[in-house]
Amino acid sequence: MKLLFIHADHLDFEARRPAVKGLPALDPAAGRGEADEALVVFFSVERGDLTDPASLVSRAGGEVKDVLGQVKAERVVLYPYAHLSQDLAPPREAQRLGEDLREHLSKTLSVPVLSAPFGYYKAFTLKAKGHPLAELSRTVAGGAEASSGRPAPARPGEGAPAESVAVGKEKTLSSTWVVLTPDGKMTPAADFDFSGETDFAAFYRYETGGSRQAGQEPAHVRMMREMELVDYEPGSDAGNFRWYPRGQLMKRLLEEQCSRLMARAGAMRVETPIMYDFEHPGLRRYLDRFPARQYVVRSDEKEYFLRFAACFGQYLIFHDMVMGRKDLPVRLYELTHYSFRREQTGELSGLRRLRTFTMPDMHTAVADVEQAKEEFRRQFELCRSWMAHLAVPYQAALRLVRSFFEEHRQFVLDLVRDFGRPILLELWEERFFYFVLKFEFHPLDTQGRAAALSTVQIDVENAERFGIGYTDRDGSRKTPLLLHASIPGAVERNVYALLEDQARRMARGEKPQFPFWLAPTQLRVLPVSDPFLPGALALAHAITQATGARVDVDDRDEGISRKIRDAERSWVPLVVVFGEREARGEALSVRGRDGRSRPLSREELLSEVRREQGAFPQAPLPEPERLSVRPIFRG
């Protein structure tokens, strides 16, 4: 932060017109001001100031107090003055930091504090005193850089705005935790008998007291790298990853399956930009209500933020749509391949918590609360079907405002009854966020940490905020409610959940395996020696042609025992050993993940492959068919 101190005999100012778009109307009384015998503090907020705003405000306040003590002025005037810097913070963040500084000075100084309005072109008259301390300048910074007296550097991609009101509020919200069982019984979570509910108990402990800091490296990080699925990208910002062919295949199949579910649910697919204007009035207010930190980019003289979900684009589409009561519910869906949240460094944790991710988002406009409940229930079941496809165990949480729960108690009880398992309820006494009800499905990892995948929320604010409306049967214009839904959650986090679940299986002495439809190689043919390679290749081609399965051939110069071990380590679901009997057309020796070999005819094998694949999406092998010519991505 740049500070210019002027000890003045007199200052008067008058706001003439806005210099920043989207400012609220200015009270005429606040647009004028004057002061005698004042310390005028011209200040500008820089991009680097936003890394630790609380520390910055404290240090800037200390400088003001120090100078005030030297010049003995009778009052302080804070005057926003952008011309002190060429590297300014986004206007809305600079305004907020200036307000924080005024509040800090009002509490810590013994003289009155006056502020000139932010974001306006102002006319002013200043009469400065002529003593040696009448004109001084300072540069202050928060955090670790402060001790050097230098401003915090503006690093590429790190000019993120100070955290939103929602981020700060999320840290201080208090709530009541209750366990609701399928029989309708509600028990304070602290009194619930978790006997026989090991994962549910771990989930409760994590939600009520678990640290979000990353701690030790999660099990899936080693697994994803060793299996050549995903890896860190040293050439990018932390929390960004490179996807190798096998991992990219799994990610693509998850995306395709989600898009199929959305289409069957009646969602219309759209595509929207990845960056949005900070000063758009609806978006600016929304940012304060969503607990996420943004990346910032600059185009010409404007600041934009990179989206952290598809909400913004879909809200703006809804705003321009013409909808009637008979059209509702209306569902829009987008698979955002690039969504961004600038999570704190200490919270980054492999694919569990990252900064760039793929988020399938659906938003549904509904007429009223009753239709919202119907749609919420439908999407709840859609999420259950997704978790069944993923084949990962999970726990469930419902988070809602107590008043909503009391008014719609039977709806919640019915939801839990049909779910058939205890659910953790978090009850808020007041509504701070934009939703009154949401649920989340959480798998647990090897460290006992939970991570939300599927979620649906009933939003009671944003339709009004973005001017979204529909025409009712009587011709009047009404404001709908909105449902936010991400049926799988972030796609990357699904891969994390799959790997962590398999790590837990391995810890119990069980063999790891992917769902058949997601396995990079679904069937591997192992020729016992080179003379049988042509027959092994022909068999692989025949199976692929008949079923669409991903079949490869281990043609390396290795013994059959080594080939079997390598297939085991690669979690290949089905392995066929191809030797003399198989070449003669006799039954195939098929080995499953249980380690047992079975004789199957070709038709029996094809039937098994088709049965395992089911109706899930298919894709070809992500690598060369022959193992001998495959590159190694991690040396």
- Encode pLDDT of 124-167 as tens digits: 999 999 888 899 999 887 654 433 333 333 333 333 444 444 55
What 8-state DSSP symbol labels residue 116?
A: P
Give pLDDT, residue 221.
95
Give pLDDT, residue 228.
96
- Encode pLDDT of 394-413 as tens digits: 999 999 999 999 999 999 99
pLDDT of 446 strictly over 90: yes
Q: How far is CA 344 from the centre of its chain?
A: 12
pLDDT of 171 strictly over 60: no
Residue 177 β-bridge partners: 426
- Encode pLDDT of 530-541 as tens digits: 999 999 999 999
The neighbour count for residue 209, using CB atoms within 10 Å, is 7
Helix (H, G, I), strand (E, B) or coil at 600: strand
Helix (H, G, I), strand (E, B) or coil at 588: strand
Q: Is 359 left (phi over 0), alpha (psi -120 to 50) or beta?
A: beta
d(CA 158, CA 342): 9
- Encode pLDDT of 581-614 as tens digits: 999 999 999 999 998 999 999 999 999 999 999 9
pLDDT > 90: what percent of the chain?
76
Going from the N-terminus, what domains does the chain have, and what CATH number goes with each? 2-154 (3.50.80.10), 216-274+309-498 (3.30.930.10), 516-629 (3.40.50.800)
Q: Which of 240, 482, 495, 251 is nearest to 361 (CA)?
A: 482
pLDDT of 481 strictly over 80: yes
d(CA 419, CA 384): 9
pLDDT of 210 strictly over 60: no
The set of residues, in sequence order, having a beta carbon less than 8 Å from that of 444 and lying 6+ positions away, is 199, 202, 203, 206, 393, 394, 395, 450, 500, 504
Give pLDDT, residue 290.
60
Q: Exposed/middle/buried for 136, CB within 10 Å: 0-12, 13-18, 19+? A: middle
Give pLDDT, residue 576.
97
The answer, yes or no, to whether the previous bond of 329 is cis (omega within 30 of 0) is yes
- The DSSP annotation for 89-101 comes to PPHHHHHHHHHHH
Residue carrying structure tokens 């399965």: 549
pLDDT of 172 strictly over 60: no
Give pLDDT, residue 151.
31
Q: How far is CA 231 from the centre of its chain?
A: 19
d(CA 47, CA 151): 10
Q: Which of 376, 406, 384, 359 is nearest to 481 (CA)?
A: 376
Which helix H or strand E contains 33, and what residues bound it?
A: strand 32-44
- Encode pLDDT of 324-342 as tens digits: 999 999 999 999 999 998 8
pLDDT of 215 strictly over 70: no
pLDDT of 30 strictly over 90: no
Tokens linked to 68 = 């005030």
The set of residues, in sequence order, having a beta carbon less than 8 Å from that of 272 and lying 6+ positions away, is 307, 310, 312, 313, 314, 316, 317, 334, 336
Name the least confident of 201-210, 241-250, 376-385, 625-634. 201-210
Give pLDDT, residue 173.
62
pLDDT tier at 214, thresholds 50, 70, 90: low
Residue 135 β-bridge partners: 6
Give pLDDT, residue 117.
93
Sign of CA pseudo-dihedral 624, 627, 631, 635: positive
Give pLDDT, residue 635.
65
Q: Which of 452, 442, 444, 440 is nearest to 490 (CA)?
A: 452
What's the predicted TM-score (pTM) here?
A: 0.77
Distances (CA, A) of 366 to 190, 476, 483: 37, 16, 8
Between 27 and 143, the more confident residue is 27
Cβ atoms of 580 and 560 within 8 Å: the answer is no
pLDDT of 174 strictly over 50: yes
Tokens linked to 565 = 């071990």
Over residues 297-308, the mean pLDDT reads 84
- Encode pLDDT of 266-299 as tens digits: 999 999 999 998 878 778 777 766 656 788 888 8
Give pLDDT, residue 301.
73
What stretches of 443-540 adopt beta strand conformation (E)? 455-459, 470-471, 477-478, 481-486, 523-527
Average pLDDT, the chain: 90
d(CA 202, CA 447): 10
Tokens linked to 81 = 């003055």
pLDDT of 213 strictly over 70: no
Tokens linked to 443 = 């798998």
Give pLDDT, residue 299.
85
